[in-house]
A and B are shown apart, each in its own frame.
Chain A
Amino acid sequence: DQQVKQNSPSLSVQEGRISILNCDYTNSMFDYFLWYKKYPAEGPTFLISISSIKDKNEDGRFTVFLNKSAKHLSLHIVPSQPGDSAVYFCAASDPSNNNDMRFGAGTRLTVKP
């Protein structure tokens, strides 16, 4: 069962524009959400997170928005840079299950110069 879904397998944006990556989840017990970035031949690296008690968390060019009622979160990157080109995974943690972490399928972001 895919509890965390990233319905867009790929996204292409122009350098300097905003990138918006989306993620939906089905498990209402999730209370902590994370975004990871993965370059080829490397493991995913943590990017930004948000607790369910918040609806927004910002770190430099990266902002994560959480809409609990819609069970939806998004990652905004502005301005986008070519070095941001990577696969982005969203993940969610379930405190009712030992903080079990579930990942989406990933979205491949390509930022064109």
Chain B
Amino acid sequence: KAGVTQTPRYLIKTRGQQVTLSCSPISGHRSVSWYQQTPGQGLQFLFEYFSETQRNKGNFPGRFSGRQFSNSRSEMNVSTLELGDSALYLCASSSRGQTKGEQFFGPGTRLTVL
């Protein structure tokens, strides 16, 4: 099976702009989660989508939003970018519905806000 893919891998934006990141999960996986990784903060949970519905949401402002399509692909959008949004954004897919299971991560999108 192909792994989780994320596009683009690198992105440079300026303050005030908006950005859309894309994630394609492993085939058959219906759960997609997004995380923000910054030095010293580890992986901060953004949100999880399952079958096109947002199932969980972390403590991020409303500028961060996402969606999932019928083919389980997911996008994450950040509007009105701030310097502090510079981070590695990781997407993870899982086959779990209400059961537990490990997540499979993509390589991430490195976002730099200037």
> Which residues of chain B from 73 to 114 have any CB-CB distance to chain A below 8 Å in the complex?
90, 92, 96, 98-100, 102-108
Number of interface residues of B (CB under 8 A): 27
From A40-48, A55-63, A70-78, give the one contacting chain B.
A40-48
Complexed CA–CA distance, A102 and B103 (Å): 12
> Which residues of chain A from 98 to 113 have any CB-CB distance to chain B below 8 Å in the complex?
98-106
> Which residues of chain B from 1 to 16 have any CB-CB distance to chain A below 8 Å in the complex?
4
Complexed CA–CA distance, A41 and B107 (Å): 7
Asked if residues A46 and B102 are in contact (CB atoms below 8 Å), the reply is yes
Complexed CA–CA distance, A99 and B94 (Å): 11
How does the 8 Å CB contact mask read for B33-61 relative to A, with 1 for contact and 0 for none?
Answer: 10100001111110010100001100100
Residues of A contacting B33 in the complex (Cβ-Cβ under 8 angstroms): 101
Q: Which residues of B line the A interface, CB within 8 A?
A: 4, 33, 35, 40-45, 48, 50, 55-56, 59, 90, 92, 96, 98-100, 102-108
